[in-house]
């Protein structure tokens, strides 16, 4: 993940988009990117879905399907193929859907290029030091520690050790009673 310390946005000449959420988000994003950056932008798509988005232009990019890269060796092969393409921008859909979660974060950290996140509302922001307040709020919200749900989440975290201790004690009592009867 290059450019974390820099607020500078590199040129949109080599772009990788990790489709790890609703396809509709990508359908809304791609026409705008093609309109703004035109023919000079090479956009590749990393996806787990069959088919391609309607707005994707195959003459301006390539599709990489993670289903073709199984196991550790497959992941390393995919990362190697993607690193050679030397992306300046990596886009990632983070839409509160558990799709390609491990893949997208692994690729975000290992691919060269500045990373932006696209959320379920179609909003996007860069992962850099200039957006730490947004990143912090985003992470807290995803963890359930922002807004009205924060009190419930913190309460669950506090009560978890006591609940676990109670369940272990109950299981221990049941097993001791069985042994005593036998």
For 34-81, write each residue's pLDDT tens digit.
999 888 899 999 998 988 999 899 999 999 999 999 889 999 999 999
Confidence category of residue 30, pLDDT binned at 50, 70, 90 = very high
The gap from C-alpha 109 to its chain's centroid, in whole angstroms, comes to: 11
Residue 88: partners with Cβ closer than 8 Å, 6 or more residues away: 10, 11, 12, 13, 14, 15, 112, 113, 114
Confidence category of residue 9, pLDDT binned at 50, 70, 90 = confident
Say what the pLDDT of residue 87 is. 93
Question: Please, where are the H alpha helices in the chain?
Answer: 23-37, 71-84, 101-110, 132-142, 149-181
Chain segment 119-178, per-residue pLDDT in tens:
888 888 888 888 788 888 887 877 778 777 788 888 889 999 999 999 999 999 999 999
Q: What is the CATH number of domain 14-142?
A: 3.40.50
Confidence category of residue 1, pLDDT binned at 50, 70, 90 = low
Confidence category of residue 3, pLDDT binned at 50, 70, 90 = low
* Domain ranges across the chain: 14-142, 147-182
Phi, psi of 109 (to 5 degrees): -80, -25
């Amino acid at each position: 993940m290059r450019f974390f310390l820099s607020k500078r946005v590199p040129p949109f000449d080599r772009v990788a988009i990790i489709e790890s959420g609703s396809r509709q988000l990508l359908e809304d994003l791609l026409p705008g990117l093609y309109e703004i950056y035109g023919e000079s932008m090479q956009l590749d798509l990393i996806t787990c879905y069959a088919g391609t988005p309607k707005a994707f232009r195959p003459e301006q990019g390539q599709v990489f399907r993670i289903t073709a890269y199984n196991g550790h060796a497959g992941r390393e092969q995919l990362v190697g193929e993607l690193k050679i393409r030397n992306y300046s921008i990596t886009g990632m859909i983070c839409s509160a859907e558990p799709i390609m979660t491990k893949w997208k974060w692994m690729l975000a950290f290992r691919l060269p290029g500045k990373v932006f996140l696209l959320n379920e509302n179609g909003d996007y922001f860069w992962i850099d030091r200039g957006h730490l307040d947004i990143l912090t709020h985003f992470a807290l919200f995803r963890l359930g520690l922002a807004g009205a749900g924060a009190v419930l989440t913190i309460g669950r975290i506090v009560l978890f050790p006591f609940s676990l201790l109670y369940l272990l004690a109950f299981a221990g009592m049941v097993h001791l009673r069985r042994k005593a009867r036998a």
